[in-house]
Chains A and B, each alone.
Chain A
Amino acid sequence: MNGFMTILRRDLHLAIRQSIDSMTVVMFFVLVVIIFPFGVGPEPNILARIASGVIWVAALLASTLSLERLFQIDYEDGSLELLSLSSVALEVIVLAKVTAHWLTTGLPLIIIAPLLAILLNMNKEGFLVLILALVVGTPSLSLIGAVGAALILGARRGGVLLALIILPLYLPVLIFGVSAVDAIMNGFEAKAQLLILGAFLLAALPLCTWAATTSIKQAIE
């Protein structure tokens, strides 16, 4: 627990010191969402129909953008290797980094999502479920993304490759996240979709941590 908190505090300090990095991710998120009315036209009914999908896709893309730096910086200056040699298990270190990533990327996205839902004229009923679905879904995005970030350490063109690798793996979270909001807006319950998103998170916690740790060990050999 001590090691987890140490790494978490370190990564949060680094992120706050360069807070422009997480602000960039949030700005990208907002920009992607804002571009859509320019593309599909400002008619409110159409925007309301696509609002949940657009917000989720933008969250996915913003998440992908910020993941490259998760391990890359520590890998390049050798601190990842030193961390792996410490008494703290590499799995705990990976979990701490992923938590820090979610706190500095996922959480700002969740906070700004209602504003964007207003911009896209989303129905009032969908707001709460959108927030809930994002709260349950974005940690899974950080976890799955961590696997991708660990796989591309040392690769050429890592950023684009990362998107190519993890976007197919993001699809289940996207499908159920949008389905939850759409269900509420059509008058149904969203409980099933939220529970499935929770199941994804619970499954991703051990599996993605294991996969990311194995990939990092391959990278620093």
Chain B
Amino acid sequence: MSMNSFNHEERTMLVENAARLLAQPADYDRWSTFGEMGWLAMAMPQHMGGLQSDLFDICLLCEQMGRELAPEPYLACAVLPGACLAQAGAQMPNGLADELTTGAYQLSTSLFNLGQPVWPQIVLCVAQDAEQVWVLNGETGLVPQASRAKAMLVLAQRPNDGAGLFVVDFNAQGVTKEQCTLIDGSTAVRLRLESVRCTVPVLQCDAGQMQAMLAPVLRAGVLAHCAFTLGTMAKALEITQVYLNQRKQFGQAIASYQTIQHRLVDLFVDIEEARALSWQAALAQPDAHRNVGSHCNTTDTLCSAALALVSETAAHVWQEALQMHGAIGMTDEYLLGGYVKHLALASRCLGNHDQQLEHLANLCLASHYENKDEPIA
């Protein structure tokens, strides 16, 4: 799979352009602007007219979106569907690929569900009727950022047989859409499918290959989520530092007190470490065993560790930022409020801390079950 890697100047330009555009108020439909900027093409494969950018470049863009709390569903409706379509053999119905990259057609996926770990995936049932038409039944999880999409790529499986990703149009017969608003003001939808007739899957595989097929897709989604969250954390810390330099108590700026300084340093270092790990995970080549001599630095481990650490750090950052602000940090109207609420959501939206740690432990400790008699290290 050939990747289109940005050079240093292109990266700088991407970040600067994103910072400039995203800092403006999002009071109009920016999705087509995202398309004009080329951002919607970044995750799309080249054979569908996409740029198929490095995951790292996509993450740099997501970090900028996180800094400005961009409300657009970039992760749900650009990164995840793009990564699905970038899998070998994927095909979109005629014309739709172009509309995805321009922003005319918004497509979501059933892969990320609110409050659920990325594994195991919710898989719906599919069967072929007598006329060889694919018929889907079941219920998706609660999918964030999908309410304005026109369709969803839904993961479904035939009993004891192959699995596939099917395009389910929200207006198709048999589709019921439920919608709710989340704590940060964003939305999520759940689809209920009753005998929904679909065209051929955009991607299909044998039952045993599903995990392998989805691994790079979920990895892209998780690390884009980490990058977005890192941007939000970094900006929350900056907002806090500015405020603490202005706010005076006992005759001096409260940032001059050592207890405050040390807590700011802890947050700063937490974020630096989480970013270093996320970037390493985004740059790692699949299945390359980096860092010779250690026993579990696979791509999956790095990705799982990044999610666990970013989530933990996100929770720590919003709690500390709020506490150091004092009462103003509790105020909905104040700038920090949006950051607090988004971080509270982001730290739990892909499973709680225990679930994330258990996933990482499974990856790290599995080999020690297999080789019980081998001396460790």
Do A and B interact? no
Binding site for B on A (CB under 8 A): none
Binding site for A on B (CB under 8 A): none
